[in-house]
Structure 1
Amino acid sequence: MLEIGDDAPDVTAPMATPEAARETDRGSYTGDDVREFSLSDPLEDGPVVLAFYPGVFSRTCTRELCELRDWKADLADLDAPLYGVSVDSPWSLLAFIDEYDLQYPLVSGFNNDVIDDFGVRREDSIMRGIANRAVFVVAPDGTVTYTWKATEPLTFPDTDEVEAAVAEAAGTK
């Protein structure tokens, strides 16, 4: 797993957006509904929060992503975009965004190296290959300034710590 002070890789991956989820009927998604995410793009405007999670529509991940949805308004004042990241396909991510009214994009680690590049791919158990639950704050210069990894099920990051890390990375703290 990347550590504080490491350079974040400039990953590129498919992304499901709230706009695309709203514009297309569920079950009718195509490649035209998928956008490209490149970490360097949002970093031009300030720090970025990446929340890795095992998979949409699972009990714990649904709870976490909805908690982040509700918390996202707090980050709006800090002007830091939040992206969820999992190995799910972009189409299942679009359906999840639609189902739970998420207002932030979800990045697909399906068939690319984004999960590996951040060092959060689960390597053991029947669920090997999915992402471990982890959060990173990346500063505009691409440096990782905050990390968190779940050590047991049903644990989530302290959003106050994430907010403080974003403020520090943005130079507002």
Structure 2
Amino acid sequence: MAWDHENIACFGGDSKHIFLLGHSAGAHLVALVATNPKYLQAHGLFPNEILAGVMPIDAASYDLVATDTRLVRRMIHDAFGDEPETLAEASPLQQAEKNPQICPPFRAAVVNQRKEALHESRSLCEVLPKCQLIVMDYPQLSQLLLVSWSCHVTINSIDPTLPLRPTRRACGP
């Protein structure tokens, strides 16, 4: 991020209009960079000073300490271990609660059919000073694909020309 901020003008970009977007684990990471000041602070930067917005899409967990779904717990263990301090440090939700003043605006998107992910996204938006939650509903997919994981993976490959266009509901400020 620091390199991007410093060099974006060389590529025709504007260092005051940087947006982060990530899906799944990438959603967790962009949310973490935007809520935990330590990553950018090491370079003399703060999230709210260089990020115009953040869009995490369909993350499994924003609170690594409280998540109790077995599959997600295993993924968290494999990536971060089990130390409560480490998990809290890597939890965007806990970091947003601790550091609301440094959080840029968020627009979090989630697939309605993934109830745990929907809960996580709502919880994150509730603690962020500026957050809009976009709930994407794929009713046709839920009839064809019986497990929520399929909806999560499908978000990467939806062909916009198909009749499976998502409906969107937005809530929040």
User: TM (normalized to structure 2)?
Assistant: 0.28
- Decide which structure has greater helix share: 2
User: TM (normalized to structure 1)?
Assistant: 0.28
Question: Which has the higher Rg, Structure 1 or Structure 2?
Answer: 2
